[in-house]
């Protein structure tokens, strides 16, 4: 692993869900149930139809929310509040991940397709509170989701991220294409998938960052 490839990085951008905590935590099981319940109630459809729409909008629009906004003109804020009412009691604190992220040189941010509040609650439950310079949610991108280029540009402009000196850590391979095109180092967090825009891959973010820190500091 050529960790020296990160020696120029001053901005570290992390996705949240299934990136800063492992997929076996299964927070998305709760989120998906809340999404389905919301769609059932607001669109007056049965559960099977709601699940089909949830998946369809995710595939075609980047997030279920984006599809609901574009096709059904729903108000995003009540939706975001409702679907992120989660039980976080089973999330384990990861001191190794906290130490590794804290040791990274430069600015560190979370950028999630969930809400900013969700980012704050989950990162705190994971033991990562106070180590990020900023947390951005989909509302900070004008409700446009990753992987839309406009979403990335909005958040990076707000934060002042210089993409040629930045790295992006993501579990969703779709969301690494634009960062790569913008000149960022890209790291897929999760099982190996090959794509031209994926430069590095790890299933153990804490270990990856610990090795990286020893090289760049």
Q: Tell me the per-residue pLDDT of 156-169, one tens digit each, with 9 for 90 and over.
A: 999 999 999 999 99
Domains 3-21+93-216 and 27-83 share a fold: no
Q: Omega of the bond prior to 91 within 30 degrees of 0, cis?
A: no
Please list, residue by residue across 93-125, b when 16 or more beta carbons sit within 10 angstroms of its beta carbon and e when fewer do: ebeebbebbeebeebbbbbbbbbbebbbbbbeb
Q: Are 13 and 186 in contact (CB under 8 A)?
A: no
What does the pLDDT look like over 112-133, one tens digit per residue? Answer: 999 999 999 999 999 999 999 9
Residue 203 CA to residue 143 CA, distance in Å, equals 29
pLDDT number for residue 194? 83
What would the two tokens of residue 78 be? 């009540």
Class of domain 3-21+93-216: alpha beta
Task: Categorize the per-residue pLDDT at 4 as very low, low, confident or very high, splitting at 50, 70 and 90.
Answer: confident
CATH 3.90.1820.10 for the 27-83 domain, yes or no: no
What would the two tokens of residue 94 be? 């990861």
Please report where in the chains the tokens 């900013």 appear, as a residue. 116
Q: Are 119 and 140 in contact (CB under 8 A)?
A: no
**What are the residue ranges spanned by the domains of the chain?**
3-21+93-216, 27-83
């Amino acid at each position: 692993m050529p960790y020296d490839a990160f020696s120029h990085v001053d901005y570290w951008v992390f996705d949240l869900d299934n990136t800063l905590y492992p997929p076996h935590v299964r927070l998305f099981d709760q989120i998906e149930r809340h999404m389905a319940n919301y769609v059932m109630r607001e669109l007056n459809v049965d559960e099977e139809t709601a699940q089909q729409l949830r998946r369809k909008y995710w595939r075609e629009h980047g997030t279920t929310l984006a599809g609901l906004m574009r096709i059904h003109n729903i108000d995003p804020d009540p939706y975001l509040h409702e679907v992120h009412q989660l039980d976080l009691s089973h999330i384990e604190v990861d001191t190794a991940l906290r130490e590794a992220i804290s040791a990274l040189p430069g600015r560190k941010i979370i950028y999630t397709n969930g809400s900013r509040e969700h980012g704050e609650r989950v990162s705190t439950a994971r033991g990562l509170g106070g180590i990020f310079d900023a947390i951005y949610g989909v509302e900070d991108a004008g409700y446009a989701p990753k992987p839309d280029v406009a979403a990335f540009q909005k958040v990076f402009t707000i934060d002042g991220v210089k993409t040629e000196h930045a790295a992006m850590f993501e579990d969703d391979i779709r969301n690494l294409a634009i960062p790569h095109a913008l000149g960022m180092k890209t790291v897929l967090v999760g099982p190996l998938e090959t794509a031209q825009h994926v430069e590095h891959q790890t299933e153990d973010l804490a270990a990856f960052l610990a090795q990286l820190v020893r090289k760049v500091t």
